Amino acid sequence: MPARTAVWWTILRISLEERLVYRGDFALGTLMRFLPILTQVFLWWAVFTAASTGQSIDQTRIVGYSYHDFIAYYLLTMVSRAFSSMPGLASGIARDIRDGTVKKYLIQPIDMLSFLLLNRMAHKVVYYTVATLPFAFVFYLCGDFFPNGWPEPQVMAAYVASLLMAFLLGFFLEATIGMIGFWFLEVSSLLFVYMLFNFFFSGHMFPIDMLPGFWGEVVRIIPLQYLAYFPAAVFLGKVEGPELIQGLWIQFAWVVLFMFTSRAAFHLGVRRYSGFGG
Amino acid sequence: MTMAVVEIESLAKSYRVYQKAEGLAASVAGLFHRKYRTVEAVRGIDLTVEAGEFVAFLGPNGAGKTTTLKLLSGVINPTSGTARVLGHVPWRRENAYRRRFALVMGQKNQLWWDLPAAESFRLHQQIYRIDPAEFDRTRDELTGMLAIRNLLSQPVRELSLGERMKMELTAALLHKPDVLFLDEPTIGLDVVAQYKIQDFLKHYQRERGITTLLTSHYMKDVAALCRRVVIITHGRIMFDGSLAQIVDRFGGHKVITLLFADGHIPGDLGVYGEVISEEPPRAKVRVDRGDVTATLGRILQQHPVVDVNVEDPPLEEMIAEVFSQVDESAGKDGELVVGRGG
């Protein structure tokens, strides 16, 4: 076990160093991600103004959500996505399969999924280091949108747990999609479809509890809500008590399921693999 | 006593390859009905390699050399047959086996592109569980032999191809593997870098007695490094023996280079053999092996020759000869397998 910890630590450390090579580009990219916040704030402001029909914008409700609720929700999904989004993971795995780089993990005594997970953790650590200040600044500016302030400590603990699980779920989900590269050499279209579904059904675009009927049922069943909506809902106190505990367990179950699915896909894929790319 | 390190029996691997005719219409048709062709990359190979041997796999492109190395390093599973390397079945990919071999591919980069090689080496130390003191010693020894110690802290992307290959070799040897697979390690390198890598491999292999399998298109690599040569074409072993045996069998003639005293090349040189080149004052004549002494005697009697050189034709030529003979006999399903010689 100490040997394994040493390996993990080395992978983490080297991944961190690798990230820091392109720190300039990375910092700029991170800051640019904050621009959409402005457009979203104005978008919903315009929507609510149009819907207000004479009354004050603060009293206007759309499916139970006020303008303030919307912005608060949107900011929190930004935080969720900072944990659950995995830029380049699936496409990177598919590319490694196509060009033969995946051989490295077959020849060396190293587990590909663990390696990629540690690598991704390093990416996230660097990202949070760069993004924490801008995030704090945005939340400070938007403090008015959170009239209740910080949640209770237990809720906060649940929130942190749901964020960490959102990270793991995002990782194993995308890793599974990347493994499809063993069967279909190109996964970019599939990934595009996934991203599209993710955008709508994870709650990134709007709070998914707004969805009525059939689609409401669908989003409650599929795991995507745990990538963005669920942690935000926990923070905002929209899920409480037994419902919260149940939600965390379901999220955990999805993590475990995709952990096994990605591993199984890797094993089956390797058996199929014929060593493309010379 | 020698011990078999690699034991291969009836090993075969076939791929299913998607076939697409040229043009858009065919692409559309391919959406509904795909045609596949089975490519038999390796069709039943038997081979035993003893500990400490340095074996070259030769063969035209697509002959099955690399596929064999991929099977032996566990990258792919075979269609049928068995193989054992150091007592392990390679495609089970057990860590116990993976810590004992290394695969170096001339066209693939296993080091972290943006970081100094020293970092990749450190990672290897961890994943191969090399004792830190031992690691320092091996790293210093290898980088010293390859003269790359001063490049250790330079990002890999800034190294030349030759320097990078030396780093790749170092990374592959840090855990002191017992078996080394080299897939075209000198591809694309200039002559000096090729020579240095050959020289390093020769010394390292001799000192450590590491069992090595090499594929290469450079005959110089093969001549410098390997006593035993296995020729693979169409997925089968067509020749297994020493380089000397290839020369005996396929080098049916010798090349005599003559330097004429008066700088003038006689016009009747053709009667002695096939004139390959005439560059006054030198000329090269191809002569049957058995007739070399007699022919040379006659030439020396008739003409004012100041210097003579008799040599085998270039190895490339002989190997090309082997390949073409094999191609001709392949239709008759004849094999040219020669018993192993020492």
Given B15, B95, B110, which is nearest A109 (Cβ)? B95
Per-residue confidence in pLDDT tens, chain B, 342 aa: 568 999 999 999 988 777 777 778 877 777 777 777 788 889 999 999 999 999 999 888 888 888 999 999 999 889 999 999 999 999 999 999 999 999 998 877 888 888 999 999 999 999 999 999 999 999 999 999 999 999 999 999 999 999 999 999 999 999 999 999 999 988 888 888 888 999 999 999 999 999 999 998 888 788 888 889 998 988 899 889 988 888 777 777 888 898 888 878 888 888 888 888 888 888 898 888 888 888 889 888 888 888 999 888 777 777 777 777 766 665 444 444 444 433
Minimal C-alpha gap between B2 and chain A (Å):
27
* Cross-strand pairs, B309: B257
The ipTM, to two decimals, is 0.80
Minimal C-alpha gap between B180 and chain A (Å):
12
Question: Residue range A162-179: average pLDDT?
Answer: 97
Question: Residue range A106-121: average pLDDT?
Answer: 93
Question: Residue range A11-25: average pLDDT?
Answer: 85
- The predicted pLDDT at position B277 comes to 85
- The predicted pLDDT at position B334 comes to 40
Given A100, A104, A274, which is nearest B15 (Cβ)? A274
A17 inside 8 A of chain B by CB: yes
Contact B283, B260 (CB under 8 A): yes
Q: What is the pLDDT of residues A82-94, one digit of tens each?
A: 999 999 999 999 9
- The predicted pLDDT at position A115 comes to 93
Minimal C-alpha gap between B63 and chain A (Å):
13
Instruction: Between A42 and B81, name the one with better pLDDT.
Output: B81
List the domains of chain B with CATH numbers: 252-311 (3.30.70.1150)
B217 inside 8 A of chain A by CB: no
- The predicted pLDDT at position B335 comes to 44
Question: Residue range A188-193: average pLDDT?
Answer: 90
Contact A219, A96 (CB under 8 A): no
List the single residue in B with minimal CA-CA distance to A16: B115
pLDDT band at A276 (very low <50, low <70, confident <90, very high): low
Confidence check: pLDDT of A139 > 80 = yes
Contact criterion met (CB < 8 Å) for A103 and B155: no
A202 Cβ partners below 8 Å, 6+ apart? A77, A81, A84, A208, A224, A225, A226, A227, A228, A229
Contact criterion met (CB < 8 Å) for A103 and B75: yes
For A277, other C-beta atoms within 10 Å of its C-beta total 13
DSSP collapsed to 3 states, chain A:
CHHHHHHHHHHHHHHHHHHHHCHHHHHHHHHHCCHHHHHHHHHHHHHHHHHCCCCCCCCCCECCECHHHHHHHHHHHHHHHHHHCCCCHHHHHHHHHHHCCCHHHHHCCCCHHHHHHHHHHHHHHHHHHHHHHHHHHHHHHCHHHCCCCCCCHHHHHHHHHHHHHHHHHHHHHHHHHHHHHHCCCCCHHHHHHHHHHHHHHCCCCCCHHHCCHHHHHHHHHCHHHHHCHHHHHHHCCCCCHHHHHHHHHHHHHHHHHHHHHHHHHHHHHHHHCCCCCC
Contact criterion met (CB < 8 Å) for B115 and A21: yes
Minimal C-alpha gap between A93 and chain B (Å):
15
Confidence check: pLDDT of A233 > 80 = yes
The proportion of chain A whose per-residue pLDDT surpasses 90, expressed as a percent, equals: 42
Distance, C-alpha B302 to centroid of its chain: 44
Partners of A100 on chain B (C-beta within 8 Å) are: 108
Given A21, A104, A106, which is nearest B74 (Cβ)? A106
- Look at the pTM and tell me if it is higher than 0.90: no
B70 inside 8 A of chain A by CB: yes
pLDDT band at A172 (very low <50, low <70, confident <90, very high): very high
pLDDT band at A98 (very low <50, low <70, confident <90, very high): confident
Domain range list for chain A? 2-272
List the single residue in B with minimal CA-CA distance to A12: B123
- The predicted pLDDT at position B100 comes to 95
- The predicted pLDDT at position A274 comes to 63
Contact criterion met (CB < 8 Å) for A21 and B155: yes
- The predicted pLDDT at position A25 comes to 81
Contact criterion met (CB < 8 Å) for B126 and A21: no
Given B76, B110, B115, which is nearest A273 (Cβ)? B76
> CA nearest A244: which of A180, A159, A187?
A159
